[in-house]
Chains A and B, each alone.
Chain A
Amino acid sequence: MADFFSSMRVSASGLDAQMKRMNTISSNIANAESQGYKRKDVEMTATPDRESFGDILQNKVDENTQGVLVTDIREDSKPQRLVYKPDDPNANPDGYIEMPNVNPVQEMANMISAQRSYEANVTAISAATQMANKAIELGR
């Protein structure tokens, strides 16, 4: 059933997904110099909004209103950054150590993107709330 709660649930799923994305970005930045760490990225998938398990059983799921779900947190397959540090105990025979494949500039850009998306979802929730309140005022 289409109602404003559906819109709010969808926006809330967006907030949740952006929050998880923000967490992985923070983790990437914090570990930019941690040996053995690999850059992580969230995998987002669109998922139909569902109110309850009963709705799914009755196939009452609205395919057009889609929320978002973080389905996986993957490791970036880009090769690790090799740094010449022959004194390091973990250095390979050639004197190189593997540093994380994290690019701080890219993480900063992703962080801004996550922040903007988060704000957009908050605005969507405020809009739905305002419209619902307006409808309630009809009865006053």
Chain B
Amino acid sequence: MKSFFDPTIRALNQNLNLREENQNIISGNIANADTPGYKAKTANFEQAMRDALDLSENVKLETSDHEHFGSKGAEAVQADIYDDPNGVESLDGNTVDRAAEMAKMKENQVLYNASIEALRKKIGMLEYGVSEGGGNK
């Protein structure tokens, strides 16, 4: 489908959605840092996003039927959420590492802000275009 927004904007949009979801997962881990038996969850989407954005021809899946499994682009990327396999179980069965979760949260926040900045630049360029280069004076 042709859209006013180019694939970059749609990819950034999906990236923001996924980072938001990741923030929810990390908040859940932090809130449950003292819950016995709770297993830390991790949301994995960065590699899927990278693959979806890889434009080189040799990795693209060719499809001959619309029901075939294929590359649907960045906006179809979903987060894979599972119990963190690297979690070390404490005596009460909890696997949350508070320091690691705080670091993950900060990283997520910085990358969210980076996506917002990129999106702002893209929107700024569109605005420049629709105002015939004049800007809103």
Give me the interface of A with B, judged by CB distance under 8 Å: 2-4, 6-8, 10-11, 13-14, 17-18, 21, 44-46, 49, 62, 64-68, 113-114, 116-117, 120-121, 123-124, 127-128, 130-131, 134-135, 137-138
Q: Dominant SS at the B interface?
A: helix
Q: A10-B27, A68-B35, A117-B33 are in contact. List 12 more A-B contacts (CB 8 A).
A: A3-B20, A10-B24, A11-B31, A17-B31, A46-B32, A64-B28, A68-B32, A117-B30, A127-B105, A130-B109, A131-B112, A138-B120
User: Given that A120-B33, A127-B109 are known contacts, is A135 also in contact with B98, CB under 8 Å in the complex?
Assistant: no
Chain B 69-109 interface 0/1 with A at a Cβ cutoff of 8 Å (1 = within): 00000000000010000000000000000100110011011
The answer to the question of B62 belonging to the interface, with a C-beta cut-off of 8 Å to chain A, is no
The answer to the question of B41 belonging to the interface, with a C-beta cut-off of 8 Å to chain A, is yes
The answer to the question of B131 belonging to the interface, with a C-beta cut-off of 8 Å to chain A, is no
Q: Dominant SS at the A interface?
A: helix
User: Given that A2-B17, A134-B113, A138-B120 are known contacts, is A127 also in contact with B23, CB under 8 Å in the complex?
Assistant: yes
